[in-house]
Amino acid sequence: MPTALFSVWDKTGATDFAAKLHAAGWRLVASGGTARRLEKAGLPVTPVSALTGEPEMLAGRVKTLHPAVHAALLARPTERDQAELAARGWFPIDLVVVNLYPFEEVVSRPDVSLEEAVEHIDIGGVALLRAAAKNFARVTVLSNPADYPVDLAVLGQADFRLRMAHKAFAHTARYDAAIQAYFARLAGAPETLRLTLYPAQELRYGENPHQQAVYYTRQPGGTPLGGELLQGKPLSYNNLLDLDAAWRAVSSFDETAVVVVKHVSPCGVATASSPELALGPAIASDPVSAFGSVIASNREVDAAFVNGLQGLFVECVVAPGFTPDALALFAKRKNLRLLRMPAANGAENHELRAIVGGFLRQTIDQGDPQDAPAWQVVSKRKPTESEWANLRFAWKACQHVKSNAIVLAASQENGRFTVGIGGGQPNRVDCVRIAGERAGERAKNAVLASDAFFPFPDGVEAAAALGVTAIVEPGGSIRDEQVIAAADEAGLALVFTGVRHFRH
C-alpha cells in the first residue's frame, strides 16, 4: 500500500487531495493540526506519533524528526534498504505533502517580535522536503498546493518527481536565505544578497533579435509587473522596460495623470480631472515620439480615452482598470497590449543593475525625501502662484526622465502638462535646446525643471531665449552665483530644491 505523509501549514486543497489518495488506496499519515483536519473530514489517518511511537514534544516543536519518518523517506528501492525498514517494523513513505511556516510573511510585519519570528522558523518541514527531494528517484514531494495533481497517475512519473524535487529545493533555499537575511539585520551584519527568481516568460528575444531573454519574477507563476495582460501579443523585453518606466512615473502622481513613454523615458506627462482630458496634452508634448509608445494612466480608462488616441499606433496601455466599453474598442486593435495593474502593486524598495564583474544595489528614487530642505527662491523675482504649481508638476515629471533631464511645462484650466522634454545627453545645455525644439512656440511662458544643477549659466540663458519664465533646479554648483545672476538678468524666477534626481 503506498503511503502519503501530510504536514502542511497552508491547508488549501489538502483535505480534497488526501480524500482522492484515500479513494485510490493510499495510506495517510499526518502530523499535528493536519492530522486533526483530515480526521475531522472523516478520513482514516495515522498520526505521526503512532508511526514513531513518540508523542509530539516541546509544544509541537518536534513532531516528524524521527528515524521512523526519515528512514522511510530516504530508503532506496533496494533489497537491503527495504529489509532494514522491515526489520524495525517501518514501511516506506512514497509521497510527502509539506509546506512551511510563513516565516517571510511574519517577519515582514513591522511589529513582529523576535520570539514570534523564531517560532516561525520551520525545522521539521524543511527536513522532510530535503529528504523527500533527495530521494526523488522513489519519493514524490509536493511543496505547493498548486501542484496537487488532478490525475494521480502523474505521481509515478519520473519527470514529475524530478520537477517537484527541484521546486522543493528552490523553496528551502529561499526559506533559508530569508532566515539568514533576518538574522543578519538583527546582528547588524552586512546582508548577503541572495535572489530567488522564477522564470515567468521566455521572451522572443532581448533588446535585439540576436539576444536571448527571459522574464523572471520573485514568485512562481508571476505576471508582468504583477499585473494582468488582458489582450494583445506577449510582451517583449522592450515592452516590459517601457511599461515599468511608464507605471513608475504615472504612479508618482496623486492626481489623475497620463504618461507617454518611449525608450524607457517619458516623452509626455499630463494631469487633468480625467484620463481622457490628460491624454491629449500628454501626446501633444511630443506627438512624433508618441508613435509606437507605451501609455500609462493611474485611473481607470474608459471609451473616451480610447477615442482620444485617434488612431495613434501604441504598443501598450497600462492602467488600474478598463471599462467594458473601453475593452470593446481596444479589442479592435488586436496587437495592442493591455495591462491591468492592481491598486497596490507592491513596488520594490531597491533596484539592482548589473555591471562587469558585479552588481549595484540602491534604494529606488521615490521623489523628494521627507527630510528634504524647503525650496528656496534665490532670484530677485518670485514665482507667481501659477508658476509655483507648474514648477512642482515639472519637478515631479523630470524625476522620471533620463539625465540630464530638462522638462518644460505649462498649464490650462483642465490641468498641467509637459510641452517639451530633453534628456539622456552628455551635457545639460543640449537637453535644454532639445526640450525647446520639442516645445516650439509653447516654450514661451513655460516653466523649466532640471533634475540636477546648471553647472554654467548657459543653460539658464538658453531657457530664457526660449521664453521660459521660471526654473526649478537643485542648486549646489560652484557657479550658482553666476547662474542666479543670469536668471536675474533675464527676469526669471529661480528656485533651488536642494535635492537631485539623476536617472542614468
| Average confidence (pLDDT) over 49-76 | 78
Query: What is the model's pLDDT at position 246?
Result: 97
Of 124 and 326, more confident: 326
Count other C-beta atoms under 10 Å from residue 320's C-beta.
20
Cα distances (Å, whole numbers) of residue 400 to 36, 314, 318, 406:
55, 20, 17, 11
* Domains 228-340 and 376-496 in one fold: yes
Residue 35: phi and psi, rounded to 5, are -60, -40
Active site residues: 134, 263
Q: How far apart are CA 301 and CA 341, in angstroms?
A: 12
> What radius of gyration, in Å, describes the C-alpha atoms of the chain?
30
**In this predicted model, what pLDDT tens digit does every residue of 3-54 receive, in sequence order?**
999 999 888 999 999 999 999 999 999 888 888 899 898 999 888 877 777 7
- Residue range 228-340, CATH number: 3.40.140.20
Q: How far apart are CA 35 and CA 11, in angstroms?
A: 11
Give the DSSP letter string of 399-424.
TTSPSS-EEEEEEETTEEEEEEEE-S
Query: What is the model's pLDDT at position 78?
Result: 82
Least confident of 34-38, 390-394, 457-461, 489-493: 34-38
Residue 460: phi and psi, rounded to 5, are -65, -40
Give the DSSP letter string of 302-336.
-HHHHHHTTT--EEEEEES-B-HHHHHHHTTSTT-
DSSP lists the bridge partners of residue 228 as 340
Mutual angle of helices 14-23 and 32-40, in 10-degree steps: 70
Query: What is the model's pLDDT at position 80?
Result: 87
Residue percentage of the chain with pLDDT more than 90:
69
Query: What is the model's pLDDT at position 58?
Result: 77
Ordered by start, the domain boundaries in the chain are 3-187, 228-340, 376-496
**In this predicted model, what pLDDT tens digit does every residue of 175-211 receive, in sequence order?**
888 898 888 888 888 777 877 788 999 999 999 999 9
The tally of CA atoms less than 13 A away on the side-chain side of residue 20 is: 12
Q: How far apart are CA 290 and CA 316, in angstroms?
A: 11
Mutual angle of helices 458-466 and 428-439, in 10-degree steps: 10
What rounded mean pLDDT belongs to the chain? 92
The set of cell numbers assigned to 439 is 516645445
Least confident of 168-172, 214-218, 341-345: 341-345
Query: What is the model's pLDDT at position 61?
Result: 75
Q: What is the DSSP letter of 467?
A: T
- The CATH class for the domain spanning 3-187 reads alpha beta
Q: How far apart are CA 474 and CA 409, in angstroms?
A: 17
Q: Are strands 27-30 and 46-47 parallel, antiparallel or unpaired?
A: parallel
The set of cell numbers assigned to 259 is 504618461
Residue percentage of the chain with pLDDT more than 70:
98
Q: Which of 33-37, 413-417, 484-488 has the highest mean pLDDT?
A: 484-488
Q: Which amino acid is at 491?
A: G
Q: How far apart are CA 421 and CA 407, in angstroms?
A: 5
Of 235 and 63, more confident: 235
Q: How far apart are CA 479 and CA 486, in angstroms?
A: 11
Count other C-beta atoms under 10 Å from residue 469's C-beta.
22
For the chain, what percentages of helix, strand and coil (3-state, to nearest 5) are there?
A: 40, 20, 40
Q: Are strands 198-202 and 214-217 parallel, antiparallel or unpaired?
A: antiparallel
**CATH H superfamily, domain 376-496:** AICAR transformylase, duplication domain (3.40.140.20)
Query: What is the model's pLDDT at position 345?
Result: 53
Q: Are strands 358-363 and 350-355 parallel, antiparallel or unpaired?
A: antiparallel
Query: What is the model's pLDDT at position 401?
Result: 97
**In this predicted model, what pLDDT tens digit does every residue of 426-442 receive, in sequence order?**
999 999 999 999 999 99
Q: Residue 347: pLDDT above 70?
A: no
pLDDT band of 346, cuts 50, 70, 90? low
DSSP lists the bridge partners of residue 416 as 271, 411
Q: How far apart are CA 24 and CA 68, in angstroms?
A: 24
**In this predicted model, what pLDDT tens digit does every residue of 125-157 receive, in sequence order?**
898 999 999 999 999 999 999 999 989 889 989
| Average confidence (pLDDT) over 108-129 | 88
Query: What is the model's pLDDT at position 300?
Result: 97
Nearest to 269 by CA among 242, 297, 244: 297
Q: What is the DSSP letter of 291?
A: T
